[in-house]
Structures are given as structure tokens and as C-alpha cells.
A = this chain, B = another copy of it.
């Protein structure tokens, strides 16, 4: 039973998130229905990360098993044909070993968070950025971000309903840079807690506003208490850029 890895791009604003929900279409459901339409098979598509409602992906990874041995490019093109009315694009399909698992085999996840930091609202980038009309001190945010890099208990930046067994994670990268009126925050880790990136970004925004210092962020981290952390940044600014597997070329060099 051949297994395929898919790389997916999608606009999170069009879906209730990766997972099927009662209140609307999930990306997973849309892809599973496209598989049924093209191959006549009812499959489960497993993603590397179950993105929340509104969160975008430029490089989500997923896997599925098909009964028939289709050419990988045929799988990609057929899924895109059946997904053509939805904001989902299958960037690639590739045959993988039977023991490949999109979620459990992944050795890293790279996210980008975009803040539009200008007084006029977004017109062209609406829905893909967090609009922050008041000036943010990007240097202070970049400096404070270093506090969070490394091996820590991230309870203060973890959604209260997060189901991960341990709140301890290693954050490999958290960089803040200004590109004109946009602030780009890039995060990378083996894995993240639920809402971790958005909660870290919300806390960094407090630093950017001058409401918090770097020292306050250190205290929040040390508190190991979600109530001590900053607010959750909106979903629409977040994008899952890439999922990394051992042996793949490192995509972080391209960002």
C-alpha cells in the first residue's frame, strides 16, 4: 500500500483549521474528499501540524496511503484538479517509506509571523498579516526574543487546553526583523506547544509597545504560568512555512 508525502499550501482564512469541525470545512476534510474524488478511496490524511483556524501554510506536510500505486505527479495534479475551487494547493506529492509519518518523523517546524506595523490598515495583505497600527520597537523585540531561544519550560506560552505531555521544548530560532512597514518573526523548533508561536508573538508585541521589558519577558518565562504570559496574537499573521525531515535540505537558509 504505497504511502505518499504531500506538501501543501493553503489560505487559513478559508477553513476552520486543519481538523474537521462541526462549524465548517477543515483542510484535512477537503484533501480527503479530493482523494476520494480522484482515487475513489476513503483515506485519512495525517498532517505534521494541526494548524488552527485562520493559520496559513506555505509548506504543511502530510501523508496518506493509497491502494493503487499512482505516479506521484499524478497524485499532485489530480488533487489540485479536485481542489481547484478551494484555497489549497498541493505543491508536491512524493512516494515515501511505509514508516514515514508526517507528524512523528518530522525533525523541525518553521513558522513565520507577519505584523503590518503602520497606521493605515492593510488592503493588499489583509488576512495575511496582523495589523498593528502603533509603532513597535523592533530592536527591543529582537533583543527580547533571545530570552526565549533554547531549552525551556514554555508553560507561560502554552494554550491552557494544550494536550502535549510536556511543556518543555527547545526553541532553535526566534528572530525579529523589520522589512519596511512589516515586521517578520521567524520561529523554528523540533515541535511547538499549542498556540506557542502566537503567544510568544503577543508577548513580543508587548515588548515592542514598551509595555514590557526584556526582563518582564524573562519573568514571564520563569513563572511557568499561562496567566503570566502575554496575549495570543491573531491567527491570520501566522504561516507554517516548512516541516523539516532528517535528510531534507534545510529550508531555514532560504528565509
Contacts and interface: CB of A to CB of B under 8 A. Distances in A.
A20 interface: no
A156 interface: no
B120 A128 contact: no
Interface residues of A, number: 27
A80 B119 CA distance: 10
Interface string A73-106: 0001100100010011111100000000000000
A124 B119 contact: no
Q: Which of A11, A56, A124, A180 has the most CB of B within 10 A?
A: A124
Contact of A89 (B11, B92, B122, B254): B122
Contacts of A120: 9, 76, 80, 89-92
B80 A121 contact: yes
Interface string A145-187: 0000000000000000000000000000000000010000000
A57 to B, nearest CB: 8
Contacts of A126: 11, 87
A10 interface: yes
Nearest to A91: B120
A9 B88 contact: no
A11 B124 contact: yes
Contacts of A119: 76-77
A31 interface: no
A238 interface: no
Contacts of A239: 124
A99 B77 CA distance: 56
A225 to B, nearest CB: 36
Nearest to A7: B120
A115 interface: no
Interface in A202-229: none
A123 interface: yes
A123 B84 contact: no
Contacts of A92: 120
Given A87-B123, A89-B123, 6 more contacts: A9-B120, A9-B123, A10-B123, A10-B124, A11-B126, A87-B124
Interface of A: 9-11, 56, 58, 76-77, 80, 84, 87-92, 118-124, 126, 128, 180, 239, 254
- Top 10 A-B residue pairs of the complex, sorted by shortest distance between their CB atoms: A89-B123, A9-B123, A89-B120, A87-B123, A91-B120, A10-B123, A89-B121, A11-B123, A88-B123, A11-B124
